[in-house]
Amino acid sequence: MCLSTVYRSQKSPENEILSNVMMIECKDGVVTLTDIMGREEKIEGDLIAADLTRAYAIVEPRAKTA
């Protein structure tokens, strides 16, 4: 099983969104992350990188407009 940690904008501990991610779905501008316990995180943005051999992915959130 290949589990990954997903980060916001860049790979750094303070940007961690969710660890032990087993599934990433991208649909209609929303990235849905699901971990091995079934917890979900939804982020409006784009998946910009996924390195599965190093077990991480990066999501770039959409800028909020006023």
pTM for this prediction: 0.90
User: Given this model, what pLDDT does residue 65 score?
Assistant: 66
Angle at 26 between CA 22 and CA 63, to 5 degrees: 115
Q: Check: CB of residue 56 under 8 Å from CB of residue 6.
A: yes
Domain segments of the chain as ranges: 4-57
pLDDT in tens, 5-38: 999 999 999 999 999 999 999 999 999 999 999 9
